[in-house]
């Protein structure tokens, strides 16, 4: 048996791959041989990542659509002729960027909608559009990025946590429906991953710095995660090596929480 991850001949769509974790996943999947389809709602961001992949000798094309718009998603994936690997990465607060921590009692239903639109419905839209070609080919991999906030709970991000928990529950159910077609469906649950956007948004006030230090002590490995910490496991779950793993949620969190 070979342990090399070989995705040669596979088309892998990564949503929200114009920056951060999605960008790292696109670069790593391309390094493993996949022809990556780099989605983002921001065309220039998708183009820049495609350039990076091509410069590194990989295969990539941009595919601009809004994951919250099912019509655009379905059209774009159909025009591609389907995909073999789908990574549901677009998330957080969607086009508005990162999650804004707010006590639930200070929010209204309109504030919740954007979290559901991108993290839950975006995942459902892309999965719905990607499944027909996977079923026809008798092979597919779906990996969805969720959050430890959805497994463990986290104050001030309840609508986001609820949307991610919904996405994880959705993926477990889809795993049961499509396993017989050679399609696996898994989630990766993240602790704090130090993306450029997150580092730039971290408050540099004395209280903000103190809060970060306190939070970091809860991470057994004593550092924030990096996008590359995520890209490795996603690439493994996208590969033929993981064909007997489905319906699972893997925590990638430096030991922030443990699960049985
Ligand atoms: N960074 C973390 O600490 C962390 C922790 C837990 C979970 N996550 C999850 O990991 C994933 C990636 O996180 P990140 O920090 O790299 O995100 P990010 O916000 O830095 O990047 C998200 C990308 O998605 C794109 N995007 C947003 N809305 C879109 C839409 N409707 N359609 C298409 N593209 C869209 C954005 O333009 C952006 O390029 C998200 O699902 C996030 O919820 C991140």
Q: What are phi and psi of 216, to 5 degrees?
A: -60, -30
Which of 38, 62, 92 to probe ligand 1 with, by most ligand atoms within 8 A of CB?
Answer: 92
Q: In angstroms, rounded to a whole number, what is the distance separating the alpha carbons of residues 253 and 20?
A: 16
pLDDT at 140: 98
pLDDT at 72: 98
pLDDT at 259: 82
The CA 257 to ligand 1 mean position distance, Å, reads 21
In ligand 1, the atom with minimum distance to the C-alpha of 117 is 31
The CA 16 to ligand 1 mean position distance, Å, reads 6
pLDDT at 98: 93
Give residue ranges with CB within 6 A of ligand 1.
15-16, 18-22, 39-42, 45, 66-68, 89-92, 94-95, 97-98, 118, 122, 145, 147, 190, 192-193, 195, 197-198
pLDDT at 203: 86
The CA 88 to ligand 1 mean position distance, Å, reads 10
pLDDT at 47: 98
Report residues of the chain scoring pLDDT below 50: none
Looking at residue 179, what DSSP letter applies? G
The CA 1 to ligand 1 mean position distance, Å, reads 35
pLDDT at 260: 75
Q: Which of 125, 29, 120, 26 is nearest to 77 (CA)?
A: 125
- Verify whether residue 160 is a known catalytic residue: yes
The token pair that represents 53 in the structure block: 């992949």
């Amino acid at each position: 048996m070979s342990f090399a991850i070989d995705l040669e001949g596979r088309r892998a769509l990564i949503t929200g791959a114009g920056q951060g974790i999605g960008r790292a996943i696109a670069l790593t999947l391309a390094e493993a041989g996949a022809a990556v389809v780099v989605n983002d709602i921001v065309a220039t961001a998708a183009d820049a990542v495609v350039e990076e992949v091509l410069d590194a000798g990989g295969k990539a094309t941009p595919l601009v659509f809004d994951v919250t718009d099912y019509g655009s998603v379905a059209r774009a994936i159909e025009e591609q002729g389907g995909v073999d690997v789908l990574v549901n990465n677009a998330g957080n607060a969607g086009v508005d960027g990162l999650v804004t921590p707010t006590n639930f009692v200070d929010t209204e239903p309109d504030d919740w909608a954007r979290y559901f639109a991108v993290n839950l419905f975006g995942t459902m839209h892309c999965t719905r559009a990607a499944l027909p070609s996977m079923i026809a080919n008798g092979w597919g991999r779906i990996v969805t990025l969720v959050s430890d906030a959805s497994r463990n709970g986290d104050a001030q991000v309840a609508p986001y946590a609820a949307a991610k928990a919904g996405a994880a529950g959705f993926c477990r159910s889809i795993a049961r429906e499509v396993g017989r077609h050679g399609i696996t469906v898994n989630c990766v649950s993240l602790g704090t991953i130090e993306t450029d956007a997150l580092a730039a948004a971290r408050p540099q006030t004395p209280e903000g710095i103190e809060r970060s230090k306190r939070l970091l002590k809860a991470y057994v490995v004593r550092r924030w995660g990096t996008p590359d910490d995520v890209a490795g496991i996603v690439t493994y779950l996208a590969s033929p090596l993981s064909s007997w793993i489905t319906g699972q949620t893997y925590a990638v969190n430096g030991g922030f929480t443990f699960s049985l």
